[in-house]
Amino acid sequence: MLRYKVRSGLGTPSCRVIRSLPQRTMTAHLKIASALRRRSFWYGPMDTSRSRVRSILFHDSRSTATSGLSLSSRAPRGRSIMLNRQSAWAQLSAGMAQVLFCDLQKAIVKHGQTNIPKALASAAGALLQLTKIFDLPAVVSVVPHGSDSQVITELEGAESVGPKLLRTTNRLVADPPTLQAIKRSDRKVLIVAGFMMEAVVLDTVLDARAAGYEVLVAVDACGSPSLRTEQSVLRQMESAGAVPTSVISIRTKLSPGFSTDEGKQMFAAVQAIKYA
C-alpha cells in the first residue's frame, strides 16, 4: 500500500513519498495533492504533467512548491507588515502625535452614508478636544466648495491648536502650506480624520506612509458615500501599513486612567460622541 506523509500549515503542503507511486494511482493522488495545494496561502501556477508530479507535488519535505520561493523568504514580509502595524500604535503618545482634519466641511460631510454626519461630527469634535487636552499639533485642511468652505460646527475654534488652510489641490502633499504645516511639528505619528475616505483620506494616508509617517485612521471621524468602496479603501490603507482605529481607542491609549484631571476631561470628551 502507498504510504506518504503530509505536512500542513502555512505555505504549500509538503509530502514525503515513502514508496514509489504506482502509475495507476497517479491521477487519484494528483487530485489529492491539488486539493491540498489549493488550501495553501502561498501558491503559484503548477505543472500538472505526470512527468512532474513526483518532483513538484510529492517532493522532499525540505523543499517547497511555491514557484521557487521558500516559506522562509515569504515569512519576513508578513512579519514586517505586522511590525509596522504594531509600531504605529506603540508610538502613539502625546509627544509623538499630530492630527490632520481633511475636508470636514458642512457642505461635504452631509453626503456621508457609512457614518451619519451627526456621528462623524461628534467624533471629530471629540478628537479636537483631545488635541487641546494633550497639546497635540493639528492641521485643518479644507477645499473650496462653491462659495462655502466652512468647517463643521464641532471644529470651529480649531485655530487654537493649528492652522486652517485652504488648498486647491486634490492631494495634500501637492499643497506647500499644508505640507509645511505637517512637517513643522516634527512628529511622526499622524492621526487622520476626514471626508471622503476614497479620496482625500486615502491619498493622505498613502502619501504619509510613503514619507515615513506612522498613520492612524480615526474611522469614526471619517466618512464615505459608499460602504462597498469604504471597505475596499480600508483594506488598501492596511496594506500600506496604516492602522484603522477610533477616537475612543486613541483616548484610552493617550490616557489609560480616569483618576487625573486630564483623564476625566478625556472621558467627558469621548462620552459626547453620538454613534449611530
Domains of the chain: 4-69 (no CATH), 84-271 (3.40.50.850)
Strand-pairing partners, residue 194, are: 102, 222
**Global pTM value:** 0.67
What single-letter DSSP state applies at residue 272?
A: T
Q: 187: closest CA among 217, 219, 215?
A: 215
What is the reported pLDDT for 32? Answer: 52
CA nearest neighbour of 162 among 173, 152, 177, 176: 177
pLDDT (mean) for 60-76 = 36
Does position 90 have pLDDT exceeding 50, yes or no? yes
Provide the percentage of residues in the chain whose pLDDT is more than 90: 49
At 165-222, the pLDDT tens digits run: 999 888 888 899 999 999 999 999 999 999 999 999 999 999 999 999 999 999 999 9
Cα–Cα distances in angstroms (integers) from residue 197 to residues 108, 140, 258, in the given order: 12, 16, 32
3 state SS of 126: helix
The pairing of beta strand 4-7 with beta strand 138-142: unpaired
Overall average pLDDT of the 32-38 stretch = 49
243 sits in which H/E element? strand 243-245
